[in-house]
Each structure stands twice: as C-alpha cells, then as structure tokens.
Amino acid sequence: MRRSCNSLTSLTSIGSINSRTKIFNNRDFQKYIANMEEDIIKGANDYYHLANKYDKKINNIVNRYETRTNQLFMDLRHREYEHKILRYKVDDLFNYKIIDYKDVEDIYHYSLYALYIYTLFVIMLVINNKY
C-alpha cells in the first residue's frame, strides 16, 4: 500500500488538475489505481492461502481426534449398558428379598457407631498421653 500512497501524493501535488478527464487520464492516477488493484489482489491471495492453510490444519486436528472421540462414545455406551445390567441385578436382589435393605441399613448404622466409639477411644488416648 505504500506505493499506492506515494502515487496518490504525487498525483495530488500536481497543481493543474481541474477536471475529471485530467485525473483519469493522468499517468500517476492510472499507476495509483493499478497499484491499488495489485495490492487488493495480493491481499486477497494472501488471505486465501492463509485460510486454506488453517483449514487444512483444522481438518487434521478434527480427523486426529474424531477416532478417539468415537472410541470414547462407544466406551461410554458400553459402560452405560453394563450399568443398566448391574442396576437390574441389584434391583432383583432387593426385590426378591435375597438381601433385605433394612439389614443393609442396620449394618451401615452399626459400623458408623463402631467408628464413633473408636474415634472417641483414640481421642481419649491422645488426651491421657500428653507429650
């Protein structure tokens, strides 16, 4: 664009420009327009090549991770299927009273009480054995 600006400066420095025909027929103005067109075409080509380059890079990234993503989705579906089977098995165990849910709750509460008692015992030992 620097060449175009220099051409415009030399064009406007001419003091005898009075009409459009003189401007359009002026060699500096024609050079200025030609340089501007060349700069626009060059910028468009640079943009096209840059966009094409990044489009290829993006496609490479997408292709690289597409197979991994598909594998992860398949693994997720497989795990979801296994989870459903396991859930049905657990429901069957509780529904047919093979394992009573009340017994599970009781065992949980008893183990919780045992942990409370053990924690109090350890705290008492620490308090009695002051360093």
Residues 28 and 78 in one domain: yes
Lowest mean per-residue pLDDT among 16-25, 40-49, 62-71, 79-88: 16-25
Task: Assess whether pLDDT exceeds 80 at residue 84.
Answer: yes
Residues 58 and 71 in one domain: yes
> What whole-number distance in Å separates Cα of residue 109 and Cα of residue 38?
84
Lowest mean per-residue pLDDT among 18-27, 29-38, 53-62, 104-113: 18-27
CB 16 within 8 A of CB 28: no
Task: Assess whether pLDDT exceeds 90 at residue 2.
Answer: no
Identify the residue with better confidence: 93 or 82: 82
Domain around 107: 100-131
Residues 31 and 58 in one domain: yes
**Mean pLDDT, range 94-112, rounded to an integer:** 84
**Mean pLDDT, range 40-62, rounded to an integer:** 82
CB 4 within 8 A of CB 32: yes
**Mean pLDDT, range 36-43, rounded to an integer:** 84
- For position 120, what pLDDT does the model report? 93
**Maximum separation of any 2 CA atoms in the chain, in Å:** 110
Structural domains counted in the chain: 2
Residues 9 and 71 in one domain: yes
Element containing residue 26 per DSSP (H, E): none
3-class SS at 74?
Answer: helix
pLDDT band of residue 111 (cuts 50, 70, 90) is very high
**Mean pLDDT, range 1-6, rounded to an integer:** 50
Residues 120 and 80 in one domain: no
Q: Is the pTM of this model over 0.75?
A: no
Residues 51 and 112 in one domain: no
Task: Assess whether pLDDT exceeds 50 at residue 1.
Answer: no
Residues 91 and 121 in one domain: no
> What whole-number distance in Å separates Cα of residue 79 and Cα of residue 86?
10
**Mean pLDDT, range 99-103, rounded to an integer:** 78
Residues 81 and 104 in one domain: no
